[in-house]
């Protein structure tokens, strides 16, 4: 089995040569092991993690034959360790698995494109990304649009697609993302001209993009990620698979490649069988488990440090922090406002991730805070008008019914909003120091660099003057560390900073 990076050029000569081949081609079987959205190196409740994934791969390879391993992206963030090493540990661990290919997910851009390039350069396997482009139309350095895999006399083309939502959900800098459907049509056709019998899209794309790709039919297999779904759909013509998250489940697909002759015409045919492997039923691969433990030990030394305690309950459950005022979000918003001296601050609920409840009296460690704020964001300070703040809040409340991560938490102001109004008309009143916020006045606003860059739909903040820019900014987690340790005890409450009204 040979893997070639695709140059997408002069494929017609290969196709023409193949057209004159008259010798019978032996049928081949190829097994694809597919997983997606793996940023947690260790297992959880006896399932998932890199070591159990490695065991699944080893078992399939021991069966012999052609085995491909595909990863649909999202690995360098968010995680506890990635907040310290920007995802380098995950690339090191994945290098031990001999992947066939990985596609760039949106979280590969969380630390900015320069870190993305560094992680790509560290990988010993191909990282695909066909639809990202810089202002000159070039894809990010080190990535390739596609690869070609030779399986006996058959050829499988694999192209990489990343969700357009990366521009909102992450921090890709100057990179934009073309419509995956358009790129799949172009690149799929080029791969077939190069001689690909079967075309696979390895895609980190959302549900709507997946549906469009399935309906278009430019590829034969769509191996996806992003939505953390556990699903496989096969109708005899096209196969779609997504494997949940964190290698808790792994999809194994057996493809049968063959030719059929009808009179003087020879046609490529394929069929598939698939199964879902629950990694709770496999033992961790010892060598990989040891490598994971080394990183866990390193992480523990840094994070198992008590900062202080909370005398009140803190609730970071997703359904809470994406729909209503939350004490823990008030704590974080206060911390970054105090650290920067800004007039007001906004914290997006989607940046809070541990999904847990802390009872009164809980000692808070660095690990707790890093778990809550895993993205490695920095706090920037920008100059805005009161109207900019109102516009930002309108964006924050615009998708409450969808549980969107843009839901805002605030410090230094009070907000009344009506969640039943039409989006864009939900802010009823904003006040500061007992007086109504002046739309024409100027204020300083502390936000994380993701929101300041337009993430989560906060485009109204993107071009505002930076008082403290990304290069001079401090990690938000460090500011929260300092805030808790300086107070010793914290007692944030739900105090009516944001009030939903009819």
Mean pLDDT of 139-150: 98
Give the model confidence (pLDDT) of 20-53 as tens digits.
444 567 899 999 999 999 999 999 999 999 999 9
Q: What is the pLDDT of residue 206?
A: 93
Q: pLDDT value at position 2?
A: 66
Residue 483, class by beta-carbon neighbours within 10 Å (0-12 exposed, 13-18 middle, 19+ buried)?
Answer: buried
Q: What is the pLDDT of residues 269-309, one digit of tens each?
A: 999 999 999 999 999 999 999 999 999 999 988 889 899 99
pLDDT digits (tens, 9 = 90+) for 100-114: 999 999 999 988 999
User: Residues 240-258: pLDDT tens digits?
Assistant: 999 999 999 999 999 999 9
CA 129 from centroid of its chain's CA atoms = 14
The CATH architecture of the domain made up of 2-6+27-296 is: 4-Layer Sandwich (3.60)
Provide the pLDDT for residue 188: 97
Region 320-329: what's the mean pLDDT?
98
Q: Where are the domains of the chain?
A: 2-6+27-296, 304-500
**423-433 average pLDDT score:** 97
> How far apart, in whole angstroms, are the C-alpha atoms of residue 145 and residue 171?
21
How far apart CA 441 and CA 320 sit, in angstroms, is 32
Band of the pLDDT at 7, cuts 50, 70, 90? very low
Which structure tokens are listed for 284?
A: 């961790």
Same fold, 2-6+27-296 and 304-500: no
Residue 19: per-residue pLDDT: 41
- Region 147-161 average pLDDT: 97
Residues forming beta bridges with residue 405, ordered by sequence position: none
Range from 72-86, 134-148, 208-222, 434-448 carrying the lowest mean pLDDT: 72-86
Helix axes 50-62, 286-303, angle to 10 degrees: 170
pTM above 0.85?
no
CA–CA gap between residue 328 and residue 124 (Å, rounded) = 41
Q: What pLDDT, on a 0 to 100 scale, did the predictor assign at position 263?
A: 77
Give pLDDT tens digits for 84-93: 899 999 999 9
* 11 has pLDDT over 90: no
Mean pLDDT calculated for residue range 143-157: 97
Distance CA 114, CA 93 (A): 21
Classified by CATH at the fold level, domain 304-500 comes out as 5'-nucleotidase;  domain 2 (3.90.780)
Estimate to the nearest angstrom the gap between the alpha carbon of 474 and the chain centroid: 23
Mean pLDDT of 418-430: 97
pLDDT at 376: 86
């Amino acid at each position: 089995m040979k893997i070639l990076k695709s140059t997408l050029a002069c494929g017609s000569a290969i196709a023409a040569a193949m057209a004159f081949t008259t010798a019978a081609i032996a049928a081949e079987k190829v097994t694809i092991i597919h997983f997606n959205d793996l940023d947690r190196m260790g297992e959880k409740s006896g399932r998932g993690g890199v070591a159990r994934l490695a065991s699944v791969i080893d078992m399939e390879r021991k069966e012999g034959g052609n085995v491909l391993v595909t990863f649909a992206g999202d690995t360098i963030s968010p995680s506890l360790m990635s907040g310290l090493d920007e995802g380098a540990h995950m690339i090191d661990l994945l290098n031990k698995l001999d992947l066939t290919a990985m596609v760039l997910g949106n979280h590969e851009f969380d630390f900015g494109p320069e870190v993305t390039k560094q992680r790509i350069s560290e990988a010993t396997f191909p990282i695909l990304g066909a639809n990202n482009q810089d202002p000159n139309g070039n894809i990010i350095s080190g990535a390739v649009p596609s690869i070609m895999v030779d399986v006996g006399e058959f050829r499988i083309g694999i192209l990489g697609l990343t969700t357009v939502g990366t521009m909102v959900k992450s921090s890709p800098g100057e990179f934009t993302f073309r419509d995956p459907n358009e790129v799949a049509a172009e690149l799929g056709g080029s791969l077939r001209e190069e001689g690909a019998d079967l075309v696979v899209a390895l895609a980190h794309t959302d549900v709507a993009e997946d549906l469009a790709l399935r309906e278009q039919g430019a590829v034969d297999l769509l191996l996806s990620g992003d939505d953390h779904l556990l699903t496989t759909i096969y109708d005899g013509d096209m196969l779609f698979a997504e494997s949940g998250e964190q290698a808790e489940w792994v999809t194994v697909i057996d493809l049968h490649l063959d030719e059929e002759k009808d009179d003087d015409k020879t046609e490529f045919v394929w069929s598939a069988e698939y199964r879902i492997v629950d990694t709770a039923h496999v033992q961790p691969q010892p060598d990989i488990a040891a490598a994971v433990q080394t990183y866990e030990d390193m992480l523990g030394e840094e994070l198992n440090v008590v900062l202080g305690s909370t005398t009140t309950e803190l609730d970071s459950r997703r359904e809470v922090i994406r729909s209503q005022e939350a004490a823990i979000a008030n704590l974080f918003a206060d911390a970054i406002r105090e650290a920067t001296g800004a007039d007001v601050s906004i914290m997006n609920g989607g940046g809070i991730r541990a999904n847990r409840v802390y009872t009164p009296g809980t000692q808070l460690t660095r690990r707790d805070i890093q778990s809550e704020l895993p993205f490695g964001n920095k706090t920037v300070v920008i100059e805005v008008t009161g109207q900019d703040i109102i516009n930002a809040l309108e964006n924050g409340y615009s998708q409450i019914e969808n549980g969107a991560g843009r839901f805002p938490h605030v410090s230094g102001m009070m907000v009344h909003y009506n969640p039943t109004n039409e989006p864009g008309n939900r802010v009823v009143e904003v006040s500061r120091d007992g007086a109504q916020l002046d739309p024409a006045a100027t204020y300083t606003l502390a936000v994380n660099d993701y929101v300041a860059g337009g993430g989560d739909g906060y485009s109204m903040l993107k071009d505002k003057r930076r008082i403290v820019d990304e290069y001079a900014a401090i990690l938000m987690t460090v500011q929260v560390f300092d805030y808790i340790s300086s107070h010793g005890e914290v007692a944030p409450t739900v105090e009516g900073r944001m009030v939903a009204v009819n």
